[in-house]
């Protein structure tokens, strides 16, 4: 399994890394690693304090970079969040890319809300105090784990 850098999902949620890269990175993971990343994202979502409200979940669904009829988005729209998260993690592997996009969207909205409300005057959360991703000229210069996408795009 490829080495997954610390706070990668946080950097994606905070839009410090391009989501296009995230889709390529996730698709390149073995199915078991994809499933592990979905479980980690679900855990991060559940740890957002307070748990994401239905309004935040609906905002995330509306902003998700995918068709609104995608199964994970439908599950998020029609079920309470805990049930939707469980159901999404039980989807077949062919749905994992859509599940990743949907969960990353929910995590981004929930984390943004937490930073704006509970952490607006600073906090001790390492993941809210990440240094910016390094830039070089008009392209991101990222560590080796970014390499394949950076070379091909």
The pLDDT of residue 85 is: 94
Q: Is the pLDDT of residue 122 over 80?
A: no
Q: CB within 8 A of 14, min separation 6: which ones?
A: 108, 111, 112, 130
Q: Is the pLDDT of residue 100 over 80?
A: yes
Task: Find the DSSP H helices in the chain.
Answer: 8-13, 19-28, 31-47, 54-63, 71-78, 81-89, 96-117, 147-152
Least trusted range by pLDDT, from 16-20, 31-35, 88-92: 16-20
Question: pLDDT of 64-89, one tens digit each?
Answer: 888 999 999 999 999 999 999 999 99
More confident residue, 63 or 4: 63
Residue 71, token pair as written in the block: 């199964």
């Amino acid at each position: 399994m490829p080495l997954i850098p610390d706070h990668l999902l946080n950097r994606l949620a905070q839009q410090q890394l391009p989501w296009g890269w995230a889709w390529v990175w996730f698709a390149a993971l073995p199915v078991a690693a994809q499933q592990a990343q979905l479980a980690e994202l679900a855990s991060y979502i559940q740890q957002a304090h307070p748990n994401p409200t239905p309004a935040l979940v609906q905002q995330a669904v509306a902003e998700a970079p995918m068709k609104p009829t995608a199964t994970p988005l439908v599950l998020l729209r029609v079920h309470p969040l805990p049930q939707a998260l469980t159901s999404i993690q039980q989807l077949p592997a062919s749905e994992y890319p859509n599940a990743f996009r949907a969960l990353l969207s929910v995590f981004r909205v929930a984390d943004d809300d937490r930073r704006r409300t509970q952490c607006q005057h600073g906090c001790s959360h390492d993941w809210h105090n990440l240094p910016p991703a390094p830039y070089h000229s008009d392209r991101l210069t990222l560590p080796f784990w970014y390499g394949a996408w950076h070379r091909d795009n």
